[in-house]
Amino acid sequence: MFTVRRQHAPASSAEPPGTPPAILATGVRKTYDGMEAVRGLDLTVAQGEMFGFLGPNGAGKTTTIAMLCTLAVPTAGRIEIAGHDTRTAPRAVRRNLGLVFQETTLDVELTAAENLRFHADLYSLPTGTLPPRIDAMLDLVGLSDRRDGLVRTFSGGMQRRLEIARGLLHRPRVLFLDEPTTGLDPQTRAQVWTYLREVRAREATTVFLTTHYLDEAEQCDRIAIIDAGRIVAQGTPAELKSVLGADRIELSTGDDTAAAALLRERFGLDPTVGERGLCVQAEDGARLVPALCAGLDVPVYEVTVTRPTLDDVFLHHTGRGIRESTPVPTAAEGL
């Protein structure tokens, strides 16, 4: 497994000495019918972090989150949420987490405020402090003016924001979000992320999310990539991309064969055939381009420099796209 060590924690995750991590998982495994869905997972998430959990379909994300949220019991290993063990103190764990599912679980025949009051009853929140708390949560997600509107009249983005408010109502230490913007248009996705950043800032809540949108993962403090039940990479988005190092330079020339020979001879580069002609990997591609254009004795029609992206990181560590399925391991491979 590749892990990048942070030199400094994000400012948002600063916490008093001795405060337990929001999430601590050690040696966690989960076996179904002789197959290991999760294979020795180790994970630490600090209080106040925005943490992205990525993996191809079938990689073990859902199983991992189910164990973190006490919806499944690990076959082996230990999980703590805000210092509480998920095996021995599941009720305390549930008090410290909020959960927003990919599919809506709101009662669409109730108003926004009624949905929040129903959630408060489930958590036995004190009735005396409830009205201002409901007002604060609706204000946080920009729904104060729709508090008495029926949820069935809300757009998908408004329902998602209400679910986030509901998940925060009982002041959890950790908010889990499973694909929080799936099915939303780009403008609404951006709006939901605006509210998530506000949630983290105002509520000091750790946000743990899964997403298939790698541009959203860029906004996380740190990311873990899981593949075939194992975490294969961890770090900040910048750190993970830095491991790939080189930029990708694509050139369209008047004679790609001659240009390829010159790239090898004069620059020590190893060109391959890309979508736009020739493709080479090089450090600081933008700085190198003028020298390449001047040093090639053939016309250069187009040059494109692309820095490593999280898509490249994901492909590098998993060998597949984020929406592609992970092959189910055989019993021999899993044990």
CATH code, domain with 300: 3.30.70.260
pLDDT tens-digit series, residues 54-63? 998 888 998 9
pLDDT tens-digit series, residues 259-277? 999 999 999 999 988 777 9
CA 76, 180, 98, 154 dihedral sign is negative
Q: What CATH number is attached to the domain comprising 185?
A: 3.40.50.300
Question: For residue 105, is it within any domain?
Answer: no
Distance CA 205, CA 217 (A): 17
CA dihedral 214→220→225→230, nearest 10 degrees, is -150
- Mean pLDDT computed over every residue of the chain: 87
Instruction: Kindly state the tokens that stand for 312.
Output: 């490249």
Find all residues with CB under 8 Å of 48, minimum gap 6, and list them. Answer: 10, 12, 13, 14, 15, 22, 200, 204, 205, 206
Which secondary-structure segment (H or E) carries 79? strand 76-81
Least confident of 13-17, 141-145, 319-323: 13-17
15 and 90, same domain (yes or no): yes
Count of domains in the chain?
A: 2
Identify the CA nearest to 190 among candidates 221, 168, 212, 215.
215
Distance CA 3, CA 1 (A): 6
186 and 81, same domain (yes or no): yes
pLDDT tens-digit series, residues 161-220? 999 999 999 999 999 998 888 888 888 888 889 988 988 888 889 999 998 888 899 999
Question: For residue 265, is it within any domain?
Answer: yes
pLDDT band, very low/low/confident/very high, at 125 (cuts 50, 70, 90): very high
In residues, how long is the chain?
Answer: 335
187 and 289, same domain (yes or no): no
Which stretches within 96-129 are classed as H helix? 112-122
Question: For residue 153, is it within any domain?
Answer: no
Residue at a domain's end among 226, 241, 256: 241
Question: For residue 254, is it within any domain?
Answer: yes
265 and 191, same domain (yes or no): no
